Amino acid sequence: MSLSPIVEPLIGWFDQNKRLLPWRRDRAPYHVWISEIMLQQTRIEAVMGYYARFLDALPDVKHLSEVDDDTLMKLWEGLGYYSRARNLKKAAVMIMEEHGGVFPRTYDALRRLPGIGDYTAGAIASICFDEKVPAVDGNVLRVIARIQGNRENVLLPQTKKRVTEELTRVMPTRPGAFNEGLMELGELVCLPNGIPLCERCPIRDACTAYREGLTEELPVRIKTTKRRRVDLSVFIITAEDGRIAVEKRPEKGLLSGLYQLPNLEGFHDEAALAEALTAWRLSPTEITFEKDAKHVFTHIDWFMKAYRVQTAKKADRFLWVTEEELKSAYPLPTAFQKLI
C-alpha cells in the first residue's frame, strides 16, 4: 500500500507534539550527529546528561578532532558500544582534513564518514539540510509494518531496503519533520511488544494493524544470530596503599582501548586463582569472593565472578590508580564498573 496518506497528518501531529529535546533547539549538524550516534542502542533518558557533558567538553568538530583518546572514552564511559566514540573522532578528523572543517551537506558525503550508516546519514541530511531521504531505524520499521500489515521479518536487510524505497517515493518538502515524526511516533505512540497507544495515533485510520487487530502480531522479528557466552573471573586487586590495579585492553576487538580490571577467562577454584595472581608477580594476602554479575553485549554475554584481592606487592604489569583517578581519568566499561 502507498504511504502517501500518512505524510501530512504525521507532520501536523509532530509539529504539535514533538518533545523539546536539547538537540532540537537548532538544526546544527554537529548537534544532530552527536545525538543520533549517542541514541543508537541507548534510551533518550540515559543520553540527556551525556549529551550536555559531551558538548560542554567538545563543542564543535574541531575540538572533537583534537581530543585525546582517554578523555574521549571518559566522556563516553557508561554509554557502551565504544566504537561509536572512536568513529566520532575519526569522522571529525576527516571533516577537518577533507572538508575544511565544514560539515558535509549531502547524504552521499555523510555516508562516507566513519560510523555514519544509512539511518544517521538520512537523519542529518533531512533534518539539517532538507534533503529528501528517509531515515529508517527500528522504530520506523515497526510503524511501517503495522501501517501496511506487513509480515516480513523487519530484521532482514531486504525489508529495510523495501521500506526505504517506499518512503523515498513519498518524501515531502519537509523531509526532516516527516522523518522525525515517524521516529517520534514509534517512541511515544506505536510502542513495541504489542502495546501501541492507538487512541493517540494521528494515522490510525490508515493503519492496517489497527483496523484488523494485528498490533500484537506485528512487526515480525526473527533473530538469526546466535549469542556467545564468556565466563570470566575478575579481580578487584587493592595494594596496601589503597590503589587499585587496572590495565588497558588491546587496541582491537571488544572494548578496545579502554581500561579493565585484571581477569581470567573461565571460572576457577581458589588455588588456581592464587596461582594466576602469583604468576602476575603479586603477593596475595587475601582472596574473597565478591559477587556474581552478568553483562550483555550485542552478540556476547559475559558471566563474571568477582573477587577482592589484597596484595602486599604491586606488579609492574598493572597501572595502580586511586579510586578518584579511576572515576575521573580512566575510562572503565560498565561491565567492570558494576563490580566495584
For the annotated catalytic residues, the residue numbers are 36
> Quick check: 273 and 98 in contact, CB under 8 A?
no
Short-list 37, 34, 23, CA closest to 57: 34
> Quick check: 125 and 106 in contact, CB under 8 A?
yes
**HEC per residue, the chain:** CCCHHHHHHHHHHHHHHCCCCHHHCCCCHHHHHHHHHHHCCCCHHHHHHHHHHHHHHCCCHHHHHHCCHHHHHHHHCCCCCCHHHHHHHHHHHHHHHHCCCCCCCCHHHHHCCCCCCHHHHHHHHHHHHCCCCCCCCHHHHHHHHHHHCCCCECCCHHHHHHHHHHHHCCCCCCHHHHHHHHHHHHHHCCCCCCCCCHHHCCCHHHCHHHHHCCCCCCCECCCCCCCEEEEEEEEEEEECCCCEEEEECCCCCCCCCCEECCEEECCCCHHHHHHHHHHCCCCEEEEEEEEEEEEECCCEEEEEEEEEEEECCCCCCCEEECHHHHHHCCCCCHHHHCCC
Site of grid cell 579502554: 258
Strand partners, 123: none
Alpha-carbon span 205 to 6, nearest angstrom: 9
